[in-house]
Structure 1
Amino acid sequence: MVLHPSSSATTKDFLACLTRNEPNIQVYVRGDSSYLPILESGIRNPRFYPYFITSVSGPRFIVTPLRDSHVQAAVICSNENHIELKVRSNGHDYEGLSYRSDVPFVMVDMFQMHAVNVDVKEGSAWVEAGATLGEVYYNIANKSDTYGFPGGICPTVGVGGHISGGGFGTLVRKYGLAADNVLDARLVNANGEILDKASMGEDLFWAIRGGGGGSFGAILAWKIKLVRVPKNVSVFTVCKNLEQNATKLVLQWQEIAPKLPDDLYIKLLLDRPHPVIVRSVNYTINATFVSLFLGGSQQLYDIMDSLIPELGLRIADIQEMSWIQSVLYAAGFDPHAPLEVLLNRNQTERKQIFKSKSDYVNQPLTRTALEGIWKIFFDKNVVVPHMMWSPQGGAMDRIPPAEIPYPHRKNLYQIEYMVWWDEQGTDAAERNMNWIQQLYTYMEPYVTKNPRASYVNFRDLGLGQSKNGTASYEEAKAWGLKYFMGNFDRLVQVKKKVDRGNFFRSEQSIPVN
């Protein structure tokens, strides 16, 4: 056992328990030379660095398991010693809930459990929870050029949390969410038992595929279904500003993007380029259209030319490449870069502080609504305002809203709001947080209602939170209905059944009372 000595009775009892259960488990405590590097390696949002100045906010113990039984021991010993436990796949929870708390806790950091075992013959793969999406895609591509997986575009996202919340990516209109393509799973429940699909039962297996991380158990691994992709796909990126009719193009995008053939995905990015970058004293808005098509360039050009010729897409704007190269392209890499870049767990990280919120749209926005967005984007007090609009339709329309906990099926598109900033201090944080709240408030008339829906993987404590995961059912409805809508009540019933003692909990976990 790797540990740093402590005089705390709780510390001694916890470590003694681990020694009884797993003598070779790796454990780090505050003061150990590896404690801070391990903790910081998975902090993806610098907004949360101040939390670790005090001993309360950071984990009392960091457990770095190598196998399932190590996670099992951590759960058993945390429960036995009444210490909160959090599991971190790779730290992409937008509110940092996998690595911070107001009470002493154990953090199980899964980064060493990242095996990906692909079975091409069966068309499946077992993926440990600490694997990143980049590692999943890399290993699939090493075995096959006609299989892929419908996960997200950021290669450093951990699979454990990504699938737990749904998992939205460029293949969503063809194959649905990552969680729609899970065949089996292994987890440790609150009693310290290792369960698979057969032993956990239908309700728990349903809940973990989109019900959000940190409520039902410690995910050990997913068995995922691989999906067919052609040997060559086509991509394009076209950017237009307001002077190039961006407003009209955005209006048209709303009408066509959710209705395109399932093989075609076009997301929309809205940004305000900085005047220094564009060498202008005036602000504008960039609307960037980013596409993946499961087919050839000529066919893609023909579709776009017939539906939205105003975009001005040229055949020369379209690149043909393999599916795995399109993964590199979507992540911002050169598509001809070595695939090994997908294995770097930190390379694509944006080191700016950020805040995110989300919405869903089921009726197209008007020109007036868009012009109101542009006005808010022109606020010079924020440096990097951003919106990402991700189309639905296709397979998402055909999958019932109660098939898994993710309910937001029959919408036109999903919105992610983001704002980044570099400046340290509370003034900068308040200014940027107020800006994103202003935009979110402005959008209320134009998005889903009763409830106003949100995506749990874009975690947002602004929707409501509890202290140390102690919310009542009525309190938890503030965020639970937004994330899960009609599926929230079933998630509560599953929680009561499998974790009555509320061992797995966070500020936005599923309640038990």
Structure 2
Amino acid sequence: MKYLSSYFTFVTAIALFFSFEPSSADSHENFVRCLYNYPDITNTISNVVYTQTNSSYSSVLDHTIENRRFSNSSSEPLVIVTPLDVSQIQATIICSQRHGLQIRTRSGGHDYEGLSYVAQVPFVLLDLLNLRQITVDEESRTAWVQSGATLGELYYSISQKSKTLGFPAGVCASVGIGGHISGGGYGLICVNAHIIDVNGNLLGRQAMGEDLFWAIRGGGGASFGVIVAWKVKLVPVPSTVTMFDVSRTLEENATEIIQKWQLVAHKLDERIIIRVDITRVNSNKHGKLTIQARFVSLFLGGVEELIPLMQNSLPELGLDRNDCKETSWIGSAVFNNALLIGSSGNEPPESMLNKTQIRFGNYKGKSDYVKKPIPIEGLRGLLRLLCDAKVEYPLVQLAPYGGIMNEISESEIAFSHRSQYIYHIHYGVTWQEEGDEIAQRHMDWIRRLYKYMEPYVSNSPRAAYINYRDLDIGVNNNGFTSYTHASIWGLKYFNNNFKRLAKVKTKVDPKNFFRNEQSIPILSVETIQHKRKQLKMVPQITLTNSYALHILNCRK
């Protein structure tokens, strides 16, 4: 990408100039002073630095907070930096370390637990909202996209260059690229990236090495540095695709159709995906609460091909031509996003550019993976829990796996959830009312739902998806965390890839600067504890031994 060429600086020399030993006595004023005096900054940084006394601080902080559960948090950043270029990110990383402040990096603000903008320690929010450049190369079928851009902006940019290229990612247009790709594991279609490491070095794929490039595709980028941009491979799509959104209630045999969907969804033609959104609605026939299942599909082809395919594989749905809408690939992105924000789906492609079009309210999410179909009685119990009138907006979403997911090994990239699962479950609950008691009622409900599902989903570990972050499954200690402790949650997200992620983390960020409640741990603490135990078992080695002293002083 051209914008990178002017930002390569001698950051190693700069690093020697600065001291990296954090001092708790340093204030955020000293951090800001460090930024203003930092050498080799391309643009004036004072225009993108917001302290809590700045009149624009609250509006900048609130701009992309999608989960209102954290909008009034007392754990706000001391300083917000909205960099315009790489040099300002480098300065923020170096000065934060010098003055004992942590960094939280925000792309689109959709982190389910607010970890990209909330912390229990003094921190700086590095908000990438100004880094949204997208360059599409139709000839090579690739695109460079900066981490502050949204999925909608990427989809729109692709559509302006080609009607027969697309990018397979999420359905919510306002989600930020940075967090989505680094947690989503878009491995084989991400061919390069630019990351700024703990020393302020800007690294491409070759410079960072294949281990780090492996880790940031699915391992969550925030543990390893600040990912500035991704180079993604675009995929061919037909000029005409077909969408449908068909709803069935309990009275219309929704339970039985879901049961059949479990058997076939992961085995369907690779050109089609059918997800199921299950929620509570008012029954048109009886005027009382019932459960509705929405079957939402994208088919890479025309309706004449789709109808016989559905008749053969899922005739129970009763799909009709009138249920279907032929459109372009960008039209399908508009259609999917409209289902989330409650619009018509007939908006122009420019609607994808609205970065703040969705506000969920207060929200809590969780996730699961399924290896074999849930028996019908299990489904009925799940649907009964959704009927609880004490919660405002419950949702369970079923997303099928299969297709190319089965063709990639779980160790190919950090994202490990592959052929062992037939579909993924996303649980969510949203509420608009405020108050601790109301919040607790909704949190208790989704935890009860999650507990109920335990016999029907994966186990040892009970797998989870990092982009539906859930602190209920485990958190790091406040400070440094051993690999064993972090494994409580880490194995759920990454399974057998977690140990390799920790090795990469130890190599690229040995002092664990980039950390949060669920960041990848370093292995050093675990190694020290193990060696301490060994020392206690060997009486002839005492603390006067220079090696023993070295081990005891290795604490990070």
TM-score by length of 1: 0.93
Matched, 1:214 2:234: no
State whether residues 269 and 288 of structure 1, in contact with CA within 8 Å, keep that contact through their aligned partners in structure 2: yes
Structure 2 CA distance for aligned equivalents of residues 370 and 335 of structure 1: 30
Question: Per the alignment, in what secondary structure is the counterpart of residue 103 of structure 1?
Answer: coil
State whether residues 256 and 307 of structure 1, in contact with CA within 8 Å, keep that contact through their aligned partners in structure 2: yes
Which digits, 9 at most, give the CA deviation of each residue in 1:209-266, with x for residues without a partner? 1001320010100001011111010011110011111111001000110000110000
Counterpart position of 2:241: 233
Q: CA deviation at 1:16?
A: 2.3
Match of 1:368 among 364, 377, 387: 377
Matched, 1:163 2:181: yes
Which digits, 9 at most, give the CA deviation of each residue in 1:401-454, with x for residues without a partner? 011111110111000000111111111111111110111001001001110000
Match of 2:412 among 383, 386, 403: 403
Match of 1:358 among 360, 367, 385: 367
Which digits, 9 at most, give the CA deviation of each residue in 1:351-394, with x for residues without a partner? 42110000000100111101111221122211211100000000
**1:17 partner letter:** C
Match of 1:330 among 321, 333, 336: 336
Structure 2 CA distance for aligned equivalents of residues 237 and 418 of structure 1: 20
**2:149 partner letter:** A
State whether residues 469 and 507 of structure 1, in contact with CA within 8 Å, keep that contact through their aligned partners in structure 2: no
State whether residues 180 and 209 of structure 1, in contact with CA within 8 Å, keep that contact through their aligned partners in structure 2: no
| CA 335–282 in structure 1, closer or farther in 2 if over 3 Å, else same | closer
Structure 2 CA distance for aligned equivalents of residues 36 and 378 of structure 1: 38
Counterpart position of 1:51: 73
For structure 2, which runs of at least 5 residues remain unmatched after alignment?
1-24, 526-556
Q: CA deviation at 1:281?
A: 5.0
Structure 2 CA distance for aligned equivalents of residues 279 and 431 of structure 1: 30
Structure 1 CA distance for aligned equivalents of residues 517 and 388 of structure 2: 32
Which digits, 9 at most, give the CA deviation of each residue in 1:45-80, with x for residues without a partner? 11112314xxxx110110011111111111111112
Match of 2:191 among 183, 191, 214: 183
Structure 1 CA distance for aligned equivalents of residues 146 and 479 of structure 2: 26
**1:509 partner letter:** S
Counterpart position of 2:530: none
Match of 1:248 among 256, 276, 300: 256
Matched, 1:380 2:386: no
Counterpart position of 1:264: 272
Counterpart position of 1:35: 57
Structure 2 CA distance for aligned equivalents of residues 350 and 15 of structure 1: 32
Question: Per the alignment, in what secondary structure is the counterpart of residue 162 of structure 1?
Answer: helix
Structure 2 CA distance for aligned equivalents of residues 489 and 146 of structure 1: 40
For structure 1, which runs of at least 5 residues remain unmatched after alignment?
1-7, 167-176
Q: CA deviation at 1:334?
A: 3.9
Which digits, 9 at most, give the CA deviation of each residue in 1:256-312, with x for residues without a partner? 10000110000011111146xx48453211111000000110110010011222211
Structure 2 CA distance for aligned equivalents of residues 9 and 310 of structure 1: 66
Which digits, 9 at most, give the CA deviation of each residue in 1:81-123, with x for residues without a partner? 2210111001111000000111111111100100000011111
Structure 1 CA distance for aligned equivalents of residues 504 and 205 of structure 2: 15
| CA 193–385 in structure 1, closer or farther in 2 if over 3 Å, else same | same
Structure 2 CA distance for aligned equivalents of residues 34 and 179 of structure 1: 38
| CA 12–431 in structure 1, closer or farther in 2 if over 3 Å, else same | closer
Q: Percent identity, please.
A: 47
Match of 1:14 among 31, 34, 40: 31
Structure 1 CA distance for aligned equivalents of residues 316 and 158 of structure 2: 38
Structure 1 CA distance for aligned equivalents of residues 353 and 478 of structure 2: 34
Match of 1:94 among 94, 102, 112: 112
State whether residues 187 and 195 of structure 1, in contact with CA within 8 Å, keep that contact through their aligned partners in structure 2: yes
**2:44 partner letter:** N
| CA 469–384 in structure 1, closer or farther in 2 if over 3 Å, else same | farther
Matched, 1:318 2:317: no
Counterpart position of 2:152: 134
**1:226 partner letter:** L
Counterpart position of 2:308: 302
Counterpart position of 2:461: 451
State whether residues 468 and 505 of structure 1, in contact with CA within 8 Å, keep that contact through their aligned partners in structure 2: no
Question: Per the alignment, in what secondary structure is the counterpart of residue 214 of structure 1?
Answer: helix
Which digits, 9 at most, give the CA deviation of each residue in 1:489-513, with x for residues without a partner? 0000000000000010000001113
Structure 2 CA distance for aligned equivalents of residues 40 and 18 of structure 1: 23
State whether residues 149 and 178 of structure 1, in contact with CA within 8 Å, keep that contact through their aligned partners in structure 2: no
Q: CA deviation at 1:36?
A: 0.5
Q: CA deviation at 1:335?
A: 4.2
Counterpart position of 2:542: none
Structure 1 CA distance for aligned equivalents of residues 346 and 250 of structure 2: 32
Question: Per the alignment, in what secondary structure is the counterpart of residue 223 of structure 2?
Answer: coil
**1:262 partner letter:** E
Q: Tell which deviates more after alignment, 326-335 or 105-114.
A: 326-335
Cα RMSD over matched residues?
1.4
| CA 178–469 in structure 1, closer or farther in 2 if over 3 Å, else same | farther
Q: CA deviation at 1:328?
A: 0.2
Larger-Rg structure: 2
| CA 280–430 in structure 1, closer or farther in 2 if over 3 Å, else same | farther
Q: Tell which deviates more after alignment, 14-23 or 310-319.
A: 14-23
